[in-house]
Chain A
Amino acid sequence: MNLTLKVWRQKNASDKGSFATYQVNDISEEMSFLEMFDVLNERLIAKGEEPIAFDHDCREGICGMCSMHINGRAHGPWSGTTTCQLHMRAFKDGDTITVEPWRAKAFPVIKDLVVDRSAFDKIQSAGGFVSVNTGNAQDANCIPIPKDDADASFAAAACIGCGACVAACKNSSAMLFVSAKVSQFALLPQGQVERVDRALNMVKEMDAAGFGNCTNTGSCEAECPKEISLDNIARLNREYLMANLKK
């Protein structure tokens, strides 16, 4: 198939940036979206033009590195799918595809489609853990956990930290990301000791990083490639309220 691509090009953080248009012909529908970018980049190199920088690594939908805003949707048209798992079957001959980086104050553009998501690491450092040093653990089966709780915790922990929730949100809120981590631990006995501090500290760090507030539009859940549930945000709100009452 033949496609027209409009891709955001930006030299560096201080450059203003703009869209560049590329005609990309002879694309097979078996290619992944990123393989289509590989082909485009190879053609650019052959012409002596600088290839487009984009983040990617595992190409299996799990590392959370890829981050393209495609035709106005984080990770493109397939729901529950990362950019790397999106395949060209999703498009048809003659389509025009617009590709932008994640847009959020807390995710400044580094170059082209690459953004800085280090704010997520800082939020994690603020409380996304159980404080247990290596070598102090009791036998694993001494902590029985109801299967439903373990499953719910796992469903929250499946978050890949890609930032699609932020990119999809009109307020650039990181509530889905933060709530998934808070929920993972809130649902487990291991997370109880630090439950209050975790909710307070992670929310505080989230606000400091410049993410917006949540207005419950649900676009984060709709665009999340791992289909993390909005229920987690409700849980975070409860956790945060309870924590404030306790402190």
Chain B
Amino acid sequence: MSKLDSKIPEGPLETKWSSYKSSVPLVNPANKRSLEIIVVGSGLAGSSAAASLAEMGYKVKVFCFQDSARRAHSIAAQGGINAAKNYQNDGDSTYRLFYDTIKGGDYRAREGNVYRLAEVSAAIIDQCVAQGVPFAREYGGLLSNRSFGGTQVQRTFYAAGQTGQQLLLGAYSALQRQVGLGNVQMYARHEMLDVVVVDGKAKGIIARDLVTGKLERHSGHAVLLCTGGYGNVFFLSTNAMGSNVTAAWKAHKKGAFFGNPCFTQIHPTCIPVSGDHQSKLTLMSESLRNDGRIWVPKKKDDNRKPNEIPEDERDYYLERRYPAFGNLVPRDVASRAAKERCDAGYGVGASKMAVYLDYASAIERYGKQQANKLGETGASKERITQLGKDVVKEKYGNLFDMYAKITGENPYETPMRIYPAVHYTMGGLWVDYNLMTTVPGLYALGEANFSDHGANRLGASALMQGLADGYFVIPYTIGAYLSGQIRDKALPTDHEAFVEAEKNVQDTIDRLMNIKGSKSVDHFHKRLGKIMWDKCGMARNEKGLKEAISEIRALREEFWKDVRVLGGKNELNPELEKACRVADFLELGELMCIDALNRNESCGGHFREEFQTEEGEAQRDDANYMYAACWEFKPGVQFELHKEDLKYERIKVSARSYK
């Protein structure tokens, strides 16, 4: 158990972080110049960490597989970022953000980490505004807010439906400034393929230059994995095509425990699958639930067009089941409710696996407001609709456009069809309060770690966590480790540990290239995704999970016998890149099922059909499962469970209710 010391500082919750900051060891400026930090991934967590650490004087190297740091998938986050600013005077506070996050996560996250997250949230907004991030504003020039699921205050800051883009470009600009100053060396189109560990400490990485295919050795005093989540194990998800688990998985195989791998977020509002050709799924931001109303027909197999179904024949099932939060219940609850309706035969669209997200009443409400504002008493219905559409266009225009392009339908005229899809993974590498994994010197930030969202993440909290970790946590906590490394020179890259790690990577690549089988990488990836979605998706049960485990093992064996990777290894080869990633997904998938099977309860996004209340809500088992499940990798793709018990000193743990 000694390996799982969360290192939460002593003392009252409110002062843990401030007293930690006052007592954490520092590294003096001269020593910082001789300490090298490797940052893998350039999304919100990676870019913000790299920029901040370089500003402090550390030497930083940043790696990303895309052609520029600005492409990382944080860019696609739409809706917003939470912060406990209480600018709306609606009773928000650090404590409320902390409480909402713990409750939203169904009491499966650490109090100490989450309180710190809420505490630093306000400074993130200040930092981003100072960088020139153009957030949405009111006419008085002050910042605007909106609501997200699982909260009853307006604490979400946004930039139209492109908040992730603007925040990432802010962090990217800070990063590029440091690149220009020579403090950061940027390695784009590079993929990390192993961690180099010496005497139990992370000392560097092996990376592949994706253009030349050459393997490179990079040494550092610390390695930060900011490599995002692993939702692409499902093949179809809202993740970018390149998003992968490889860096985290290589770290896992070198000794970093993997925390709560089965905690997956299925997002309720995505554009439904249209056919077998589908390569990814597209999210429609949760912010749409601010104004949109979700419904299905009251009649089974109702084939009428949505606009022909009268009001009293519609079932606004979220408003019916959860009157207190209505359409703004958390994501796990909304997703399950949509699945329940579709499974019961009330789904809509050609596939019957969709529900309506309707803007008609919002358009009318905004139209009337606008007409009043313009003094147009007695405006016609058409005029009101037009005014309403203009308001909706300003708020959500880019999302509506995207929907229209993908589906060929006009969402201003007809309700959108939506269905849940894999979106985010709460699980990830286990980290302590310092964000350090079980391998000293190896850190995980942002979605790559498991720390703050428990079993379900609230909307607009991923951006908050990525930037909190990068801007405001790691710059302090890394000192606790690096202050002890100032006497160590960087590991020379001809050290035997580098030689061996590089050889292992080379052998894996050679093995993949030499199989010369008959099926493409995507063929295997799609089959894995189907197993995961059917048996480890929105609803899980013991029988299905056991089947999934043996099916994945068989599929993995088949992959290593029959995959076909064309092209050369010493050149740009996207097929080889995919093959390396899918090989890791084929191991991770098994662990996710093992973890889901181990957790004999339902909590947050993890819904075991055997464990539900009479009303179909998730039923936790706090007596037996109030712990983070942390898995250690053993040779032969075996996993050993370690438990970190969760202690709630401040919050009273209760059944989660949004009714």
Q: Which A residues lie at the B interface, using CB under 8 A? A: 11-12, 28, 30-32, 34-36, 38-39, 42, 45-46, 48-51, 53, 55-65, 78, 80-81, 85-87, 89, 110-111, 114, 116-118, 120-121, 124-126, 128-141, 143-147, 150-151, 153-154, 157-158, 160-161, 184-185, 188, 190-191
A/B interface sample: 7 pairs, CB < 8 A: A35-B278, A51-B574, A58-B75, A59-B280, A60-B76, A64-B70, A191-B132
| A162 → B minimal CB distance (Å) | 10
Q: Name B69's contact: one of A116, A121, A144, A190 (CB within 8 Å).
A: A121
CB distance from B407 to the nearest CB of A (A): 8
Cβ-closest 7 pairs across A and B:
A144-B141, A125-B180, A137-B130, A137-B126, A129-B173, A154-B134, A140-B129
- B273-295 CB mask vs A (1 if < 8 Å, else 0) is 01101111011000000000000
Q: Give bound CA distance, A116 to B188, whole Å.
A: 11
Instruction: Report whether B73 and A130 are in contact in the complex, using a CB–CB cutoff of 8 Å.
Output: no
Among B176, B186, B242, B283, which residue has its beta carbon within 8 angstroms of that of A128?
Answer: B176
Within 8 A of A (CB), among B76-133: 76, 85, 87, 123, 125-132
- Separation in Å of the B167 CB from the closest CB of chain A? 11
In the bound complex, CA of A125 to CA of B51 (Å): 12
A65 to chain B, nearest CB (A): 5
A116 to B211, CA, bound (A): 10
In the complex, the chain A residue whose C-beta lies closest to that of B564 is A45
- Segment 402-442 of B: residues with Cβ below 8 Å from A: 402, 405-406, 408
Separation in Å of the A8 CB from the closest CB of chain B?
15
Question: Closest CB-CB distance, A80 to chain B, in whole Å?
Answer: 8
Tell whether B607 is near chain A: CB-to-CB under 8 Å: no
Q: Are B70 and A50 in contact (CB under 8 A)?
A: no
A138-B126, A139-B126 known; A144+B406 contact, CB < 8 A: no
Known: A45-B566, A114-B572, A146-B141. A161 touches B68 (CB 8 A): yes
Which residue numbers of B lie inside 8 Å of A, CB to CB? 48, 51-52, 55, 66-73, 75-76, 85, 87, 123, 125-132, 134-143, 159-160, 162, 164-166, 169, 172-174, 176-177, 179-180, 186, 188, 211, 240-242, 274-275, 277-280, 282-283, 401-402, 405-406, 408, 471-472, 475, 520, 522-523, 564, 566-567, 571-575
Is there contact, CB below 8 Å, between B129 and A143? yes
Give the chain B neighbours of A62 by CB distance below 8 A: 75-76, 162, 164-165
* Interface contact A118-B67, CB-CB below 8 Å: yes
Is A116 a contact of B67 with CB atoms below 8 Å?
Answer: yes
Q: A137 contacts B127, CB within 8 Å?
A: yes
| Chain B neighbourhood of A143, CB < 8 A | 129-130
The answer to whether A157 touches B180 (Cβ under 8 A) is no
Q: Is the CB of B68 within 8 A of A50?
A: no
Taking the nearest CB of chain A, how far is it from the CB of B242, in angstroms? 5
With A57-B242, A63-B75, A190-B132 as given contacts, are A30 and B70 in contact (CB-CB < 8 Å)? Answer: no
Chain A residue nearest to B55 in the complex (CB): A133
Q: A42-B522, A60-B76 known; A129 and B174 CB under 8 Å?
A: yes
Query: Which residues from chain B contact A50 at a C-beta distance below 8 Å?
Result: 566-567
Give the distance in Å from the alpha carbon of A65 to the alpha carbon of B67 in the complex.
8
Residues of chain B lying within 8 A (CB to CB) of residue A28: 275, 277
Q: Is the CB of A185 within 8 A of B132?
A: yes
Other contacts beyond A57-B71, A121-B176: 15, CB < 8 A: A12-B571, A38-B279, A58-B76, A63-B72, A63-B75, A80-B401, A129-B174, A132-B127, A135-B472, A137-B130, A141-B143, A143-B129, A150-B135, A158-B162, A190-B129
A64 touches B85 (CB 8 A): no
Inter-chain contact A154/B66, CB cutoff 8 Å: no
A121 close to B188 (CB less than 8 A): yes
Tell me what chain A mostly uses at the interface: helix, strand, loop, or mixed: loop
Contacts of B129 in A (CB 8 A): 137, 140, 143, 190
Nearest residue, chain B, Cβ from A56: B241
What's the Cα separation between A166 and B214 when bound, in Å? 30
Please measure, in the bound complex, the distance between the C-alpha atom of A57 and the C-alpha atom of B242, giving whole angstroms: 6
Contact A134 B475 (CB under 8 A): yes
Q: A172–B66 Cα gap in the complex (Å)? A: 23
Q: Complex: how many Å from CA A153 to CA B274?
A: 36
C-alpha gap A55/B188 in the complex (Å): 13
A215 CA to B535 CA in the complex, in Å? 59
Q: A121-B188, A129-B173, A150-B135 are in contact. Are A140 and B242 (CB under 8 A)?
A: no
In whole angstroms, what is the CA distance A58 to B573 when docked?
19
> Inside 8 A of B48's CB, which chain A residues have their CB?
134
In contact, A158 and B241 (Cβ under 8 angstroms): no
Contact for A34 among B87, B279, B564, B566, CB less than 8 A: B279
Q: Return A220 CB to nearest CB of chain B, in Å.
A: 19
A136-B471 Cα distance, complex, nearest whole Å: 11
**With contacts A140-B129, A141-B142 known, is A63 near B180, CB below 8 A?**
no
Q: A42-B520, A147-B141, A154-B166 are in contact. Are A85 and B177 (CB under 8 A)?
A: no
Judge whether B131 and A154 touch: CB under 8 Å: no
User: Do B123 and A137 have beta carbons less than 8 Å apart?
Assistant: yes
Task: List the A side residues contacting B523 at CB < 8 Å.
Answer: 42
Q: Which residue of A is nearest B52, CB measured?
A: A134
Contact residue among B125, B522, B567 (Cβ-Cβ distance under 8 Å from A140) = B125
**Would you call B68 and A118 a contact (CB within 8 A)?**
yes
Whether the pair B127, A141 counts as a contact (CB closer than 8 A) is no
- Given the known interface contacts A57-B242, A134-B471, the answer about A85 and B71 at a Cβ–Cβ threshold of 8 Å is no
Task: List the A residue with the shortest CB-CB distance to B157.
Answer: A140
Contact B67 A117 (CB under 8 A): yes
Q: Which of B139, B179, B405, B574 contacts A147 (CB 8 A)?
A: B139
**Chain B residues near A161 (CB-CB < 8 A):** 68, 70
Residue in chain B with minimal CB distance to A127: B180
Contacts of A87 in B (CB 8 A): 405-406, 408
The CA of A104 and the CA of B87, in the complex, are separated in Å by: 48
Instruction: A23 to B144: give the CA distance in the assembly, Å.
Output: 52
Question: In the bound complex, do residue A110 and residue B211 qualify as a contact, i.e. CB atoms below 8 Å apart?
Answer: yes
- Closest B residue to A12 by CB, please name it: B571
With a cutoff of 8 Å between Cβ atoms, the chain A residues found around residue B52 in the complex are 133-135
Contacts of B180 in A (CB 8 A): 125-126
Complex Cα spacing A139 to B130, Å: 9
Q: Which residues of B contact A158 (CB under 8 A)?
A: 162, 165
Contact of A129 (CB < 8 Å), options: B177, B283, B571: B177
Residues in chain A near residue B126, CB distance under 8 A:
137-140
- A145 near B141: Cβ-Cβ < 8 Å: yes
A208 vs chain B, min Cβ distance (A)? 13
Once the chains are docked, how many angstroms separate the CA of A32 from the CA of B132? 34
Report B142 CB to chain A, min CB distance, Å: 5
Q: How far is the CA of A59 from the CA of B471 in the complex (A)?
A: 28
Chain A residues near B186 (CB-CB < 8 A): 121
- Which of A45, A111, A160 lies at the interface centre, i.e. has the most chain B CB atoms within 10 A of its CB? A45
A63 touches B405 (CB 8 A): no
Across the interface, do A157 and B405 meet the contact criterion of CB distance under 8 Å?
Answer: no
Check if B275 sits within 8 Å of A31, measured CB to CB: yes
Q: Which of A61, A140, A184 has the most CB of B within 10 A?
A: A140
Contact of B566 among A48, A118, A129, A160 (CB under 8 A): A48
- The 8 Å CB contact of A57, one of B73, B128, B520, is B73
Taking CB as reference atom, which chain A residue is nearest B126? Answer: A137
Contact A190 B66 (CB under 8 A): no
List residues of chain B with CB within 8 A of the CB of A160: 165
Distance between Cα atoms of A82 and B190 in the complex (Å): 25
Q: Which residues of A contact B572 (CB under 8 A)?
A: 12, 53, 110-111, 114
- Output the nearest chain A residue to B160 by Cβ-Cβ distance: A154
A235 to nearest B CB, angstroms? 15
A154 and B138 contact, Cβ closer than 8 Å, known pairs A60-B402, A62-B76, A85-B406? no
Task: Give Cα A139–Cα B574 distance, bound, in whole angstroms.
Answer: 45
Q: Which residue of B lies closest to A157 (CB)?
A: B134
